[in-house]
Each structure stands twice: as structure tokens, then as C-alpha cells.
Amino acid sequence: MKPSRLVCLLPIFAMLAACTHSGTPNTMAVGESRASPDTPKVPFGNQPCRSLTPGEIKSLGIAKPAPSEPAAGREPDGLGFDNTCDFGYQSLVYTTGSSYEAQKNQLRNPRHNVPADLPNAFYDVLGNLWFAEKGYYVTVPNNAADSVKEKMARVIAAKL
């Protein structure tokens, strides 16, 4: 290829490269995480332990002894931010839409009813409570009585 033709094609290559980098504008609110389908979306500035206040933890009766501070974690371990929180006897996990859908489609327990006021909620065969609200997918693992998990889910869903 002649050098003059290459010079003519460079602007075209640059334009094509720019097209591949186009995306949606950043319209997220402060403190939200941008999640791909395989990345959990976590509210409260990627701080899952802010899902419940100390007063809410106490009223739910899920911490004994009450931790000085809830323990955040990551699931999977290589995730670049926290998406789990251990509140004592009970924990919660912000998960992905694909994980939520897989559990709903493959491991949903049809005999374990969920109160109608919980948004898009179901129990899986292990007794974990799953719910979805406003693009957030949350699991409340089977560490406590259903009534406690359901109260916890209601409190969190109302904040999302």
C-alpha cells in the first residue's frame, strides 16, 4: 500500500475506533456501582453493610453478640468491591441478575411461599431468600428464621 493511501485511511480507522468506544453516558447517581451482567450492583457507595442501621440490626434481633461493626466481604473473592455483609447471625449478598435468574429458574422452591409484599421474591431449595428491586438482586442466606429474613428483606427493599 502506498504511504499516501495509508494517510487517507488513518482518519477512517480513527473514526471506526471511536465508534467502538461509544457507550451510554454516565447518568448514575452518586454512590451507585456500574454493574455488568456478571458484576453485582451494590447500593450505598458499594458498602453493603450500610444496608441496615445499628437500630435496624438490633430490632431484627440478628446479631448476638452485636458486632462492633458489621463485616463486609466479597463474593467471589476476586471482586473489586464489597458485595456481602455479615450482621452477626444473618448476612446478605448483593448478587447478579444472571445468578438471580438461574436460582429462580433452576432452584426455586415452589412449596416455600413468600409474602406478596416482597418484590420479585422467592425461596430456593436451600431456604435462601432472594429478591429483586430496582436493578438490585439480593440474597438473604438461610441463617435465621424465615420471619427474620423476610423482615430484613422488607427493610432493605424499602431503601433501594
Summarised one tens digit per residue, pLDDT across range 25-77 is 333 344 444 445 689 999 999 999 999 998 998 888 876 665 667 889 999 88
Task: Report the distance separating Cα 113 and Cα 103, nearest Å.
Answer: 15
What is the average per-residue pLDDT within 68-90? 88
72 Cβ neighbours under 8 A, 6+ residues apart = 47, 48, 49, 82, 84, 85, 86
Cell of 90: 444473618
Q: What are the structural domain ranges in the chain?
A: 37-159
Helices (H), 39-127: 43-46, 54-60, 97-106
pLDDT confidence tier of residue 21, bands split at 50, 70 and 90? very low
The amino acid that residue 103 corresponds to is Q
Q: How does residue 87 score in pLDDT terms, banded at 50, 70 and 90?
A: confident
Which CATH number is associated with domain 37-159? 3.40.1000
Contact predicate 124/109, CB 8 Å? yes
User: How confident is the model over 93-105, as pLDDT tens digits?
Assistant: 999 999 999 999 9
Q: In Å, how far are 19, 79, 83, 117, 160 from 41, measured between CA atoms?
A: 27, 12, 8, 22, 11
Of 160, 22, 28, 144, which Cα lies nearest the Cα of 86?
Answer: 144
